[in-house]
Chain A
Amino acid sequence: MTTLIPVHLRYTKEHEWASAQDDNIVAIGITHHAQQRLGDVVYLELPPIGKTVEKDKIFGTVESVKAVSDLFSPLTGVVVAVNEALVNHPEDINQDPYKKAWMIKIRIKQPEHLDELMDSVAYARYLEQHTK
Chain B
Amino acid sequence: MKRTPLYDCHLRLGAQMTDFGGFEMPIRYSGDKIEHMAVREKVGLFDVSHMGEILIAGPKAEEDVNRLLSNDAAKIQNGQAFYAAMLNADGKIIDDVVAYKFSPEKFIICVNASNREKDFKWIHENCNYAKDVSDNFAQIAVQGPRAINLVDALSPKEARSLKRYHFAEGKLQLETQSTDAIIARTGYTGEDGFELYVSTRDATKVWETLFKVGSPWGVTACGLAARDTLRLEAGMCLYGNDINEETTPFEAGIDFVVKLNKSHSFVGQVALQKQKLNGISKKLCGLRVTGKGIARHGYSIHAKTGKRIGVVTSGTQTPYLNQAIALGYVESDFMNTGTEIAIEIRGQLIPAQIVSIPFYRKASKELL
Contacts and interface: CB of A to CB of B under 8 A. Distances in A.
B16 A65 contact: no
Given A65-B225, A65-B229, A65-B316, A1 B31 contact: no
Interface of A: 1, 36-37, 39-40, 42-43, 45, 61, 63-66, 68, 94
Nearest to B226: A65
Interface residues on B, range: 10 to 19
B32 A39 contact: yes
A39 B317 contact: no
Nearest to A70: B346
Given A39-B28, A39-B31, A39-B225, A65 B296 contact: no
Interface string B3-30: 0000000000010100000000001100
Given A1-B14, A36-B16, A40-B31, A65 B317 contact: yes
A40 B319 CA distance: 9
Contacts of A42: 294, 317
B251 interface: no
A40 B16 contact: no
Contact of B317 (A1, A37, A43, A45): A43
Contacts of B296: 68
Contacts of A40: 31-33, 319
Interface string B215-241: 000000000010011000000000000
B187 interface: no
Contacts, number: 40
- Looking at chain B's contact residues, the main secondary structure is mixed
A65 B319 contact: yes
B293 interface: yes
Given A36-B16, A64-B32, A43 B294 contact: yes
In the A-B complex, the 10 residue pairs with the smallest Cβ-Cβ separation, listed nearest first, are A42-B317, A65-B32, A39-B32, A40-B33, A40-B32, A66-B225, A63-B294, A65-B316, A40-B31, A43-B294
Nearest to A63: B294
B316 A66 contact: yes
A53 B14 CA distance: 37
Contacts of B31: 39-40, 94
B293 A43 contact: yes
Nearest to A1: B14
Contacts of A43: 293-294, 317
B19 to A, nearest CB: 12
B204 to A, nearest CB: 22
Nearest to B33: A40
Nearest to B293: A43
A65 B36 CA distance: 11
Given A1-B14, A40-B319, A42-B294, A66 B32 contact: yes
Contacts of B293: 43
Contacts of A37: 16
Nearest to A94: B31
Contacts of A61: 346
Nearest to B322: A42
Given A39-B32, A40-B32, A65-B316, 11 more contacts: A40-B319, A45-B346, A63-B294, A65-B225, A65-B229, A65-B317, A65-B319, A66-B32, A66-B225, A66-B228, A68-B294
A1 B296 CA distance: 29
19 contacts: A36-B16, A37-B16, A39-B31, A40-B31, A40-B32, A42-B294, A42-B317, A43-B293, A63-B294, A63-B317, A64-B32, A65-B32, A65-B229, A65-B316, A66-B225, A66-B228, A66-B229, A66-B316, A68-B294
- Residue of A36, A39, A94 ringed by the most chain B CB atoms within 10 A: A39
A68 B317 CA distance: 11
